[in-house]
């Protein structure tokens, strides 16, 4: 897991990506501003942030807007969320840090808020529907301008190296290892096999199923939590479909390390499901979801590259009699580089939809951090209430499936 210094760099990079995207946006979008405001408020509270920003962030946190999971602002919001989680987990180190280091960290957060708010307000014309949110963003840009001019410098105290490290034998540790192996395998020209794509999709489905089940156990009667659970149910089913490659397509090779990492992840999920509620960490689940989302993005990019460059193989019979007629030297049982068949295109579309569903679910899921008293009492975390009553409900989640591909 990245440390605080690395997260400062990531926050700057993702904010710049959002600012660039807003320059071509004709309308104001408040997508992800509610999530960003909540996470920014949590982080600023831990580094003595300006109190006058609190009412603005609280109002933005309740802003109602589209949530399609595609906005670059989502990356800013999630990065701030991870940063807030780390600071909250090491409050003693944060309090002991030098005034200069706390000021630097605070300035990084304020600079990100200023750039994002200014880009949202200046580069887009606010609609009448979002006029109130636009005025809040204007006030936020004004209130953070001074902090945005603080020259950045590296942190010097132990604050810079803080991170949320996986506990040995935990789900987070298993997901961290699996995610690293999966992304490396998917990016490899020799290890990105049919099994690799199928197994990775099945593992992502398993993580989604775990999140959905835990939300059901934590808040079975909560309407908002039920909506988030349904999002993960949808993501679970879509990644199951992504794992189910048609038999007419193949992609040979071997990826033995992924096989072992995936098995360890399966075991970690089983152990977590059998653990008592009091020992399950919501923060650990959130970290696992963020890693799974990273793998999902690499999965989609890698598959698109394979499909568009003819890297997937298809049996000639699946191309239809017209193809065989035009290529008399090709036999029905021959395997050929896929020329862009409907089978490969549909598979890519299935993965794209699955990735979008997962990003939607992750964006809508933010664990409420326990306050100091609750943490000392050992009370379990809860899932944050969100405004998403209009989200469609779907059926009950069953259990994750394993990929059935055989490596050749």
No. of helices (H) and no. of strands (E), the chain: 15, 5
Give residue-wise pLDDT tens across range 25-37: 666 666 678 889 9
Contact residues for 131 (Cβ-Cβ < 8 A; gap 6+): none
Looking at residue 262, its pLDDT comes to: 93
Query: Residue 294 in contact with residue 231, Cβ under 8 Å?
Result: no
The dihedral through the CA atoms of 375, 178, 357, 22 has a sign that is: positive
| Range 379-391 burial, b when 16+ CB lie within 10 A, else e | eebbbbebbbeeb
Looking at residue 382, its pLDDT comes to: 35
Q: Which residue has the higher pLDDT, 158 or 342?
A: 342
Q: Which residue has the higher pLDDT, 169 or 171?
A: 171
The average confidence (pLDDT) of the chain is 80
Looking at residue 343, its pLDDT comes to: 94
User: Radius of gyration over alpha carbons of the chain, in Å?
Assistant: 23
| Domain ranges (residues) in the chain | 4-161, 171-383
Looking at residue 358, its pLDDT comes to: 92
C-alpha to C-alpha distance for 340 and 333, rounded to whole angstroms: 18
């Amino acid at each position: 897991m990245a440390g605080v210094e690395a997260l400062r760099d990531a926050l700057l990079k993702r904010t710049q990506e959002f600012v660039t995207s807003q320059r071509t946006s004709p309308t104001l979008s408040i997508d992800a501003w509610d999530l960003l405001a909540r996470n920014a408020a949590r982080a600023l509270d831990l580094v003595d942030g300006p109190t006058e920003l609190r009412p603005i962030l609280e109002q933005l946190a309740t802003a109602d807007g589209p949530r399609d999971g595609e906005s670059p602002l989502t990356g800013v919001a999630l990065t701030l969320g991870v940063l807030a989680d780390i600071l909250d987990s090491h409050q003693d180190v944060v309090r002991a840090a030098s005034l200069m280091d706390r000021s630097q960290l605070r300035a990084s957060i304020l600079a990100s808020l200023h750039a994002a708010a200014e880009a949202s307000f200046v580069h887009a014309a606010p609609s009448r529907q979002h006029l109130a949110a636009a005025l809040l963003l204007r006030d936020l840009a004004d209130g953070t301008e001074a902090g945005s001019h603080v020259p950045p410098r590296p942190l010097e105290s132990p604050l810079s190296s803080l991170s949320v490290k996986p506990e040995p034998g935990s789900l987070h540790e298993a997901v961290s290892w699996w995610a690293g192996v999966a992304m490396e395998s998917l990016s490899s020209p020799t290890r990105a096999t049919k099994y690799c794509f199928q197994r990775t999709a099945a593992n992502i489905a398993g993580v989604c199923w775990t999140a959905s089940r835990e939300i059901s156990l934590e808040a079975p009667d909560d309407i908002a939590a039920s909506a988030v659970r349904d999002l993960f149910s949808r993501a679970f089913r879509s990644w199951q479909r992504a794992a189910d490659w048609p038999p007419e397509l193949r992609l040979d090779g071997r990826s033995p390390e992924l096989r072992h990492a995936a098995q360890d992840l399966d075991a970690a999920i089983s152990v977590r499901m059998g653990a008592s509620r009091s020992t399950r960490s919501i923060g650990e689940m959130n970290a696992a979801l963020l890693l799974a989302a990273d793998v999902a993005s690499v999965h989609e990019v890698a598959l698109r590259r394979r499909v568009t460059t003819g890297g997937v193989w298809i049996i000639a019979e699946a191309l239809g009699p017209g193809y065989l007629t035009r290529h008399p030297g090709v036999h029905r049982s021959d395997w050929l580089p896929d020329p862009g068949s409907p089978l490969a295109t549909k598979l890519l579309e299935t993965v794209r939809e699955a990735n979008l569903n997962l990003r939607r679910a992750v964006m809508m899921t933010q664990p409420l951090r326990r306050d100091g008293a609750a943490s000392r009492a050992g009370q379990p975390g809860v899932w944050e209430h969100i405004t998403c009553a209009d989200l469609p409900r779907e059926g009950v989640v069953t259990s994750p499936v394993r990929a059935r591909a055989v490596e050749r």
